[in-house]
Amino acid sequence: MTNTSITVLDGGMGRELMRIGAPFRQPEWSALALLDGPEWVVTAHRNFIDAGAQVITTNSYAVVPFHIGDERFAARGRDLAALSGRLARQAAEGTGVVLAGSLPPLFGSYRPDLFDAATAPSVIDPLVDGLSAHVDVWLAETLGSIAEADAVRHALDRAGSGLPLWMSFTLDDHVPGVLRSGEPVGDAVARAVDLGATVVSFNCCQAETITASLELAVRAAAGRARIGGYANRFVSSHTGGGEANAQIAAFRDDLDPMSYGDFVRRWIDAGVEVVGGCCGMEPAHIAHLVALAAE
């Protein structure tokens, strides 16, 4: 019988687009398919839906100036976000799959040092505006600091959005128990819950890193939010500089679906209720997680 307490997310959209042959390169990353081949986005979403994902995430992660440039974002950011929502809705039509609106790090992945609260509204507000009509929940993901989480809450309040909020932090793969900003996991989880997040996850870091922080997270949530995890498959985690927007990272060869499932099984045993995959986790990984959730 399916374990109805476990929600299975999709996998990494960007690298799934690359895997199936969609337009893909840095610096545009997954946004290039919105610009040059939106039909590929629908195909990628459907691949994860066919694998059994209960939630798919809009392809809006790279719709930020960091990836598409200031001028293109100013001219087309809102419309590209709306397009990502429409494509996800098209892919999910008739399936009952939940659509999560991806609200990404506004100034670059793994760069909490670049966060600027004063200019954040000019980036996040067009995303919220473009996605609002199409999504069921908000997923603020790869948050590197508590200030980034605060900016998301402020943006949703400005928009008057009453949709559920899920938040997902990225952790430092080299220092246990902290965000990439250096802030403690417990503080981040507690703040996310205070901001109204009903799911608090960790993503786009090593599976081992997530495993080491789950006890802290469960304790900090204190039953007020569901805990989740969706790791990446990168060989190593980028840290600082321009690396996250300058190269396409290699994948580990020890995180096939079965091996990743071993981590996720331990997460579920620790109290995690929302699982999925980030960069490099393919439909086969998600299909295996669906099988785990049915045990």
Instruction: Give the residue extent of every domain in the chain.
Output: 7-293
Other Cβ atoms less than 10 A from the Cβ of 295: the count is: 10
C-alpha dist (Å) from residue 164 to 13, 101, 138, 293 = 22, 10, 6, 23
Buried b or exposed e, range 74-99, using 16+ CB within 10 angstroms: eebbbebbbbbbbbbbebbeeeebbb
- Please state which CATH class domain 7-293 belongs to: alpha beta
pLDDT tens, residue order, the chain (295 aa): 245 699 999 999 999 999 999 999 999 999 999 999 999 999 999 999 999 999 999 999 999 999 999 999 999 999 999 999 999 999 999 999 999 999 999 999 999 999 999 999 999 999 999 999 999 999 999 999 999 999 999 999 999 999 999 999 999 999 999 999 999 999 999 999 999 999 999 999 999 999 999 999 999 999 999 999 999 999 975 544 344 456 788 999 999 999 999 999 999 999 999 999 999 999 999 999 999 999 8
Other Cβ atoms less than 10 A from the Cβ of 255: the count is: 23
Q: What DSSP state is assigned to residue 134?
A: T
Q: Report the C-alpha gap between 152 and 150 in whole angstroms.
A: 5
Contact between 189 and 221 under an 8 Å Cβ cutoff? The reply is yes
Whole-model pTM: value is: 0.96
Contact between 35 and 12 under an 8 Å Cβ cutoff? The reply is no
Identity of residue 95: T
